Amino acid sequence: MVENNTKIVAFLCNWCSYGAADLAGVSRMQYPADIRVIRIPCTGRLSPKFILSALREGADAVWVSG
């Protein structure tokens, strides 16, 4: 395990941002490997509890996009 790397939990909407993350890959855009994506059906699905629990589990940041 690499020390001190940040962890960002990304809750991405299946219909837009998840697709955008896919497209970033297709376009070979390079970005730091700190993000862990959790696919959700819609940002409407996102309970504030998910954000809080991600932070509690040690995430340095939570990114919600949709």
Partner 1 sequence: MVTFKLNGKEVQGEDGQYIIQVAEKYGVEIPTLCHHKALEPAGMCRICTVELFDGRRTKFVTACNYPIWEGMQINTNTPAVHQGRKLIVEMLYARCPEVPLLKKLAKEYKIKEPRFPKQDDDCILCGLCVRMCERMGNSAISLTGRGTDMKIDTPFGLQSDVCMACGACASVCPTGHITLEKIKNEFTKQHPFMIPSEYEMGLKGRKPVYVPYAQAVPNTPAIDREVCMHFKSGGCGVCSDICQMDAIDYTMEDEIIEIDAGAVVLSPGFTPFDPSKFDNYGYANHPNVMTAMEFERILSASGPTSGHLTRMSDHKEPKKIAWFQCVGSRDMNKCDNKYCSSVCCMYALKEAVIAKEHAGDDLDCAIFYMDMRTHGKDFERYYNRAQDQGIRFLRSRVHTVDPLHDSDDLQVTYVTESGEKVDEIFDMIVLSIGLEISPEIVDMAKKLGIELTDGNFAKTSTFKPVETNKKGIFVAGAFQGPKDIPQSVVDSNAAAGEAGAMLASARNTQTKLPEVIPETNIIGDRPRIGVFVCKCGTNIASVVNVPNVRDYAATLPYVEYCSDNLYSCSQDTQESMSQIIKANNLNRIVVAACTPKTHEPLFQETLVNAGLNKYLFEMTNIRNHASWVHKDTPELATQKAKDLVRMAVSKVALMEPLEEAELQVNPVAMVIGGGISGITAAKTLAQQGYHVHVVEKDQRLGGQANNLFHTYKDEDIAKELGSLVQEVENNEKIHIHLNTTLEAVEGFVGNFKSELLCNKEPSSLEHGIAVIATGAKAYIPNEYEYGKDDRIMTTLDLDKRFIDRDPSLKALNAAVFIQCVGSREPDRPYCSRVCCTHSIDNALALKKINPEMEIFILYRDIRTYGEREYKYQAAREAGIIFVRYALENKPDIQLKEGKVLVTVTDHVLGQPLEIEADLLTLATAIVPNKDERLANFFKVPLNEDGFFVERHAKLGPSEFATDGVFLCGLAHYPKPIDEAIAHGQAAASRAVTLLAKETIHTSGNVANIDPMVCSSCGVCVSICPYAAPSFATQGRFEGTAEINPVLCKGCGLCVASCRSGAIHLKGFDTNQIFAQIFAMNEAV
Partner 2 sequence: MNTCINKIRELSFELLDKGEVEKVIGFANGTIPMATSPIAITSTKDIETLVFNSTCGLNLANYIRQHKGKIAVIAKGCDTRNIVTHIVENQVQRDQLYIIGVPCNGMIDKTKIASLFEDDIIEFSEDGNALTVKSALKEETLNKTDYLRQNCRLCLHKNPVIYDALAADLVEEQTLESPYPDVKKIEAMTPDTKWQHFQDLTKNCIRCYACRNACPLCYCPTCFVDESGPQWVGKGQNTTDVNTFHFLRAFHCAGRCTDCGACVEACPMDINVRDFTRKLNKDVFDLFGWEAGLDITKRPPLDAYSPDDPDDFIK
Among 16, 55, 60, 61, binds partner 2 (CB under 8 A): 55
User: What DSSP state is assigned to residue 60?
Assistant: S
| Amino acid identity at 65 | S
Q: Shortest gap between Cβ of 65 and partner 1 (angstroms)?
A: 13
Selection from partner 1, partner 2, none that 6 binds (CB < 5 to 8 A by kind) is none
- Alpha helices by DSSP H, the chain: 17-26, 48-56
Interface map 18-57 toward partner 1 (x if CB under 8 A): xx-xxxxxxxxxxxxx-xxxxxxxx-xxxx--x--xx--x
In the numeric block, the tokens 């395990």 are attached to: 1
